[in-house]
């Protein structure tokens, strides 16, 4: 009976999260009236939720008039954002993000909105979808619009950014700008981020302290977070005198993600890491996807292999296993970035002062690591 009640509560929380995610996309203006909304199948695959959970969330959005379903065509946004005259007269800040189709977006945006709306600012959201050409266009638009400030999540941040002239123009016009989640190596702006390298170091150390000596990993190579998490992983192995093996580390990018997570590709990774007793995975999305793959093969987490990850997303329906994960501050990260941007707006010398912050490392209460000492 208690197990059934827990399952019902869990389903309810997931339906609320998915509903909030969809509502945030529409209310923020990321998806506009007439835009196509993700299908049930895509949402099930993306978030790992059951069809029942996805349908419940979509039905609530439909009841509130935010989406409409067209038989044989798909689901569409049916909501007009109400900026109106008041919105046009408010001071604006630009918010550039890499993605909207992930589990971090609603809470990060809510943190930013909780500060900016209270202070009377309109938030203009732009999504690059990890394309640098899109970043170029949005930076140009925001410069022309004369925004009061910018909050930016960098695009393909493991590489030097080519939009140097635009960032120099931002400096010249003295537009307060702060980055979230990452920053560019060749552009000097403060940022609010997780402590990615330290987080990965601590996760790897936790595995070692539980007796694991053969540890594999999977990281994303086209953003700074992936590179920093790789750095923490390798530094920890080195500090404890453990072997690093190229065959035990897999890389992927935004563009080849579906190919790298095909059944064939995951099977190759599984074969290469069969000796490993533990894996460090780039984020919860890929961690839960890989755990589903292992489950289908009859491999049990953590009995057969331990998994650790980043973000504490709690997005997947995984029964009794909750992956041990570094907590992403989500709402607090958005809130702090917004607060710091406001402070920068009131500081004419903001380029010469420090508004950067790195969140301390904390773990969730996951049970995906087995002590094999």
What pLDDT score does 2 carry?
A: 39
What pLDDT score does 6 carry?
A: 41
**pLDDT per position as a tens digit, 356-367:** 999 999 999 999
Residue 51, sorted as left (phi over 0), alpha (psi -120 to 50) or beta, turns out to be alpha
Number of other CB atoms surrounding residue 347 within 10 Å: 13
**pLDDT per position as a tens digit, 1-23:** 434 434 443 445 677 888 888 88
The better pLDDT of the pair 1, 173 is held by 173
Structural domains for the chain: 2-77 (1.10.10.10), 84-194+330-359 (3.40.50.2300), 196-327 (3.40.50.2300)
What pLDDT score does 82 carry?
A: 56
**Listed range (2-11, 202-211, 282-291, 293-302) with the worst mean pLDDT:** 2-11
Q: Are 58 and 67 in contact (CB under 8 A)?
A: yes
Mean pLDDT of the chain: 90
What is the average per-residue pLDDT within 203-210?
Answer: 98
What pLDDT score does 115 carry?
A: 97
**pLDDT per position as a tens digit, 123-171:** 999 999 899 999 999 999 999 999 999 999 999 999 999 999 999 999 9
What pLDDT score does 133 carry?
A: 96
Virtual CA dihedral for 43, 97, 234, 195, nearest 10 degrees? -110
Query: Is the pTM value of this prediction over 0.85?
Result: yes
**pLDDT per position as a tens digit, 26-73:** 887 888 888 888 888 888 877 778 888 888 888 998 898 888 988 888
């Amino acid at each position: 009976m208690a197990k059934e009640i827990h399952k019902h509560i869990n389903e309810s929380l997931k339906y609320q999260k998915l509903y909030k995610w969809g509502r945030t996309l529409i209310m923020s203006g990321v998806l506009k009236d007439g835009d196509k909304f993700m299908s049930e199948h895509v949402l099930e695959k993306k978030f790992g939720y059951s069809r029942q959970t996805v349908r419940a969330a979509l039905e609530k959005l439909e009841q509130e008039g935010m989406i409409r379903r067209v038989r044989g065509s798909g689901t569409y946004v049916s909501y007009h954002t109400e900026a109106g005259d008041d919105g046009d007269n408010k001071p604006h800040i630009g918010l550039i993000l890499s993605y909207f189709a992930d589990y971090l977006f609603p809470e990060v945006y809510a943190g930013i909105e909780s500060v900016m709306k209270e202070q009377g600012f309109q938030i203009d959201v732009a999504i690059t979808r990890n394309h640098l050409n899109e970043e170029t266009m949005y930076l140009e638009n925001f410069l022309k619009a004369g925004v009061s400030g910018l909050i930016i999540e960098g695009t393909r941040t493991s590489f030097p950014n080519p939009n140097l002239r635009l960032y120099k123009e931002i400096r010249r016009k003295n537009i307060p700008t702060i980055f979230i989640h990452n920053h560019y190596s060749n552009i000097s702006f403060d940022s609010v981020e997780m402590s990615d390298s330290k987080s990965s170091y601590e996760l790897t150390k936790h595995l070692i302290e539980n007796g694991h000596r053969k540890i594999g990993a999977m990281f994303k190579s086209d953003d700074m977070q992936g590179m920093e998490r790789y750095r923490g992983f390798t530094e920890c192995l080195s500090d404890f005198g453990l072997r690093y093996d190229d065959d035990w580390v897999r890389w992927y990018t935004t563009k080849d993600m579906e190919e790298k997570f095909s059944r064939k590709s995951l099977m190759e990774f599984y074969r290469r890491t069969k000796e490993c007793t533990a894996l460090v995975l780039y984020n919860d999305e890929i961690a839960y996807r890989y755990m589903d793959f292992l489950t289908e093969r009859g491999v049990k987490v953590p009995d057969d292999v331990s998994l650790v990850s980043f973000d504490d997303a709690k997005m997947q329906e995984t029964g009794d296993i909750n992956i041990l994960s570094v907590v992403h501050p989500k709402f607090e990260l958005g809130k702090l970035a917004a607060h710091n941007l406001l402070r920068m707006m009131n500081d004419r010398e903001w380029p010469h002062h420090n508004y950067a912050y790195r969140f301390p490392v904390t773990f969730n209460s996951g049970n995906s690591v087995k002590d094999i000492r």
